[in-house]
């Protein structure tokens, strides 16, 4: 009896495995039907995600507030009250300076690329799976956002719009293993393909021709090939270079400029390529 049960279970298991793996193979590329389902689900859960994002911001502000108070108390023990007030003011000015630098960098980019418009987008939810790197932002079709639009922050390339719903859109990060970006090194102009590894702090640049020299520390930028990303967006810098196991090409490890774990808002590059 038990033998029959396990036999039946095994048979069902094998059949389901074959069926589900075939379906997974079939949906390697996002099909319009599943894209619509996904957009619908995202729109459905959008109010909740937005509310949590808002609450989270509030909680962060409150915790930050208490941190500041403790900081001020410590300062008060050491310094005069006036000095403490000045330090607080200085902190605020530094914050403004940081913002100023960020906006200047963006302005610079906009001026260099007049065909593009930068749309600010706030991250409202992230993919909970560890093997995929994507997040959802609060800009969608209603703001004119379209699939494959590049996404960046002040430090460099973040990714591209993958799935755009009415009120929100999903960004596929360059660290996602499904992502690939045509890239080139800054000094040597060595071409390669940047691929994600599912790790936030590491990218792979492969398909580097064997006869070309790539140095560690060298900057890597988008090459503009492939038609998705415009040329010249910083991606990261080379950490190490090794020969591919096949022996035909070189592979480099690249550390991205963007701190993906701390991102809170990004900029979508809207405009002609």
What does the binding site for another protein look like in residue numbers (CB under 8 A)? 9, 13, 16-17, 19-30, 34-35, 37-38, 41-42, 45, 48-49, 52-53, 56, 124-132, 135-136, 163, 177-178, 195, 197-201, 260-261
User: Nearer to another protein by C-beta: 87 or 255?
Assistant: 255
- Comparing CB distances to another protein, the nearer of 147 and 219 is 147
Q: How far is the CB of 163 from another protein (least distance, A)?
A: 6
Rounded to the nearest whole angstrom, what is the least distance from the CB of residue 113 to another protein in the complex? 30
In the bound state with another protein, the residue whose beta carbon lies nearer, of 12 and 79, is: 12
Q: Smallest distance, Å, CB 181 to another protein? A: 15
CB of 96 to another protein, least distance (A): 26
CB closer to another protein, 3 vs 29: 29
Q: Residue 157: which of 266, 56, 79, 10 has the closest Cα?
A: 266
CB of 53 to another protein, least distance (A): 7
Nearer to another protein, 57 or 144 (CB): 57
């Amino acid at each position: 009896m038990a033998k029959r049960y396990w036999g039946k279970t095994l048979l069902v298991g094998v059949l389901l495995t074959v069926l589900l793996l075939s379906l997974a193979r079939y949906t390697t590329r996002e099909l319009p039907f599943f894209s619509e389902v996904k957009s619908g689900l995202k729109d459905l859960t959008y109010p909740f995600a937005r509310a949590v994002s808002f609450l989270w911001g509030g909680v962060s502000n409150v915790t930050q507030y208490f941190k500041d108070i403790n900081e001020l108390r410590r300062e008060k023990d050491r310094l005069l009250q006036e000095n403490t007030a000045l330090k607080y003011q200085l902190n605020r000015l530094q914050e403004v300076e940081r913002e100023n630098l960020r906006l200047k960098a963006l302005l610079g980019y906009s001026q260099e690329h007049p065909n593009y418009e930068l749309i600010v987008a706030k991250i409202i939810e992230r993919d909970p799976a560890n093997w995929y790197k994507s997040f959802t932002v609060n800009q969608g079709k209603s703001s004119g956002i379209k699939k494959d639009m590049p996404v960046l922050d002040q430090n460099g390339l973040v990714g591209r719009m993958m799935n755009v719903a009415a009120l929100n859109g999903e960004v596929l990060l360059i660290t996602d293993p499904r992502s690939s970006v045509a890239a080139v090194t800054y000094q040597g102009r060595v071409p390669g393909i940047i691929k994600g590894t599912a790790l936030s702090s590491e990218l792979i640049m492969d398909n580097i021709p064997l006869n070309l020299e790539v140095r560690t520390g060298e900057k890597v930028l988008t090459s503009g090939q492939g038609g998705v990303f415009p040329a010249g967006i910083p991606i990261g810098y080379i950490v190490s270079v090794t020969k591919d196991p096949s022996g035909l090409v070189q592979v480099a490890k690249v550390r991205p400029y963007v701190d993906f774990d701390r991102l809170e808002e990004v900029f979508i590059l809207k405009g002609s390529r």
